[in-house]
Structure 1
Amino acid sequence: MTSFPEIRALTFDVFGTVVDWRGGIAREAEAMLAPKGFTLDWGAFANAWRRPILAAMAPVRSAERSYVTMDALHRETLDLALGEFHIATLDETDKHRLAMGWRRLDPWPDTIAGMNLMKAQRAVVALSNGNIALVLSMAKRAGIPWDTILGADLVRTYKPDAAIYDSASRLLDLAPSEIMMVACHPGDLNAAKSRGLRTAYVHRPLEWGEGTERPLPETGEFDVIVHSFTELAETLGA
């Protein structure tokens, strides 16, 4: 029996929920920098790069800055992370290659199996702050089985701006109540809920590395609270 039979599409946050950005960027940074003689905590470098990316989206949401793609923000904020680790010897070709590493992230171990189960009954859709080219490139490399990708470049702002969630309903031609937002970030889900979407929280305790685990949400805070995509598929009756 299918639970939530009214849900016709599942929209997914990508960075942290679908893919392990920290592990992927740590790998990409080590591949680029270790042969040049650098030795550092690669996971800490990934975290140091991710933090200013999150901050850089705020001026776009508030219209203090015109929209730029996530690819562009990755390149801009790379200089901050390199500076924090006193790395000043990369040329522009190396920096571009490293910034494009965000297109080469790996899914969590449960991601693809769980998505394929859910895909049999419902549309599985990326609803991401990533631009379409970024998320598509990532999907082709990693085999992420999206039915379609709704990137931030379609509405030219970033989550948790309401326009992102409203665009899912408009572009998928569904009522908000027919869509379930899937994410590991409570703020993302609360914003989706405020626009009428149903919500599924997936616990990703290692998103920022060991010792950074956030507590599980309270029962009832979201429609579904699970620990993996395969558990979510089972909960939805896939």
Structure 2
Amino acid sequence: MTSSVKAIVFDTFGTVVDWRGSIIRDLTDWGAAEDLQIDWAGLVDRWRDRYNPQKARVRSGELPWTNLDELHFDALKAVFAEMELAELDHDRMMHVNRVWHRLDGWPDASRGLHRLKSKFIIGPLSNANVAILVNMAKHADLPWDNVFSCELFQHYKPDPETYLGVCKLLYLEPGAVMMCAAHNYDLAAARSLGLKTAFIARPTEYGEGQTTDLTAEQRWDYVADDLEDLARQLGC
């Protein structure tokens, strides 16, 4: 099977980077330096809770195409109001919002991707906009060949235009592209369109009490412990 796969694309938030842990660490340190008394763990969980509903508003047509930085900023202001926090000045609010550009990879991420890159075309297929993905790659040493942001397709996953958009840009049939994700829904959408699939479990993506995506829920083409394990299974 691996001989037919030419490219691997990766969900990024949760699969490649530890978004929750990164944000809590980053903003806790910054907030202490700024003398801000904010429950950053509580804030990030509320912030992320608005992620899917915000995307759904775009996918349904309620909102015109809006990139993730802009959706995040609207959600951040709503969370500040919900938590009865006074908004910070513009520069500091933007610093908080841009924390998504500064996310750290899981410990295996950079090493695993460097190994996979030796044999395959690799890139993120992510709901994040181009600026987030490019800055994150620099920050976390993610050696992408290209950035397949959903911003390029003006559709959010799991819309078919995202997965098939990668195939079109690379001039590859769906069966020559593999989707790697820690989320079963993402892989199900990709498989339904003919892409190959690889599942990576990230059981602490949402913290210690995570209850979803703890295991592979279908017989995906590959199931790996982490990205280095996937590289080993694919002969990299």
TM-score scaled by length of structure 1: 0.93
1:134-145 matches, within 5 Å, as 134-145=132-143
Give the residue type in structure 2 aligned to 1:151: S
How far, CA to CA, are the matches of 1:39 and 1:77 in structure 2?
A: 17
Question: Secondary structure in 2 aligned to 1:57?
Answer: helix
What is the deviation of 1:125? 1.2
Per-residue CA deviation, residues 4-59 of structure 1 (Å, 9 max, x unaligned), is: 2111000001111110100111123223433334152x333211111102210001
How far, CA to CA, are the matches of 1:146 and 1:120 in structure 2?
A: 11
The residue aligned with 2:216 is 217
Q: Once the two structures are aligned, what percentage of the paired residues are identical?
A: 37
| Residues 110 and 140, structure 2, Cα contact 8 Å, conserved in 1 | no
| Residues 19 and 108, structure 1, Cα contact 8 Å, conserved in 2 | yes
How far, CA to CA, are the matches of 1:236 and 1:197 in structure 2?
A: 16
What is the deviation of 1:213? 4.2
Question: Secondary structure in 1 aligned to 2:202?
Answer: coil
The residue aligned with 2:93 is 95
Per-residue CA deviation, residues 96-137 of structure 1 (Å, 9 max, x unaligned), is: 111011000000000011111111010111111111111001
The residue aligned with 2:203 is 205
Give the residue type in structure 1 aligned to 2:216: P
Would you say 1:147 and 2:140 are equivalent positions? no
| Residues 153 and 161, structure 2, Cα contact 8 Å, conserved in 1 | yes
The residue aligned with 1:119 is 117
Would you say 1:164 and 2:162 are equivalent positions? yes
Give the residue type in structure 1 aligned to 2:195: L
| Residues 198 and 223, structure 1, Cα contact 8 Å, conserved in 2 | yes
The residue aligned with 2:193 is 195
What is the deviation of 1:89? 4.3
1:37-186 matches, within 5 Å, as 37-40=36-39, 42-186=40-184
| Residues 32 and 98, structure 1, Cα contact 8 Å, conserved in 2 | no
| Residues 178 and 195, structure 2, Cα contact 8 Å, conserved in 1 | yes
Question: Secondary structure in 1 aligned to 2:50?
Answer: helix
Question: Secondary structure in 2 aligned to 1:36?
Answer: coil
Give the aligned length. Answer: 234
| Residues 114 and 143, structure 2, Cα contact 8 Å, conserved in 1 | yes
| Residues 201 and 216, structure 2, Cα contact 8 Å, conserved in 1 | no
What is the deviation of 1:157? 1.4
| Residues 162 and 191, structure 1, Cα contact 8 Å, conserved in 2 | yes
How far, CA to CA, are the matches of 1:223 and 1:109 in structure 2?
A: 24
What is the deviation of 1:88? 0.9
How far, CA to CA, are the matches of 2:93 and 2:26 in structure 1?
A: 11
TM-score scaled by length of structure 2: 0.94
- In structure 2, runs of 5+ residues without a counterpart are none
Superposition RMSD on alpha carbons, in Å? 1.4
How far, CA to CA, are the matches of 2:102 and 2:92 in structure 1?
A: 15
- In structure 1, runs of 5+ residues without a counterpart are none
1:8-47 matches, within 5 Å, as 8-34=6-32, 35-40=34-39, 42-47=40-45
Question: Secondary structure in 2 aligned to 1:200?
Answer: strand
What is the deviation of 1:92? 1.6
How far, CA to CA, are the matches of 2:201 and 2:184 in structure 1?
A: 10
